[in-house]
Every structure is written in structure tokens, then in C-alpha cells.
Amino acid sequence: MTVAAVDRLVHHATILEMNVDSYRRRRSR
């Protein structure tokens, strides 16, 4: 159960990071 929770957390963190990265790229242009 703990592993699944951590896996979900990492998954959300990765998606969030990708969104922020694409957002920054859009702003720089």
C-alpha cells in the first residue's frame, strides 16, 4: 500500500513538472 502511494506521488510530481516545464517554455516565447 505504501509503495502504491509513493508511486502515485511520483507520478503526479512528474506530470506537474512536465506541465510547469511546458508552461515556462510557452512564457519564454
List the grid coordinates of 29: 516565447
Report pLDDT digits (tens) over 1-29.
799 999 999 999 999 999 999 999 998 87
- pTM > 0.95: no
Count CB atoms within 10 A of the CB of residue 27.
7
Report the C-alpha gap between 4 and 12 in whole angstroms.
12
Hey, where are the domains in the chain? 1-28
Distance between the two ends of the chain, CA-based, in angstroms? 43
3-state SS track over 1-29: CHHHHHHHHHHHHHHHHHHHHHHHHHHHC
pLDDT of residue 11: 96
pLDDT of residue 28: 85
pLDDT of residue 1: 75
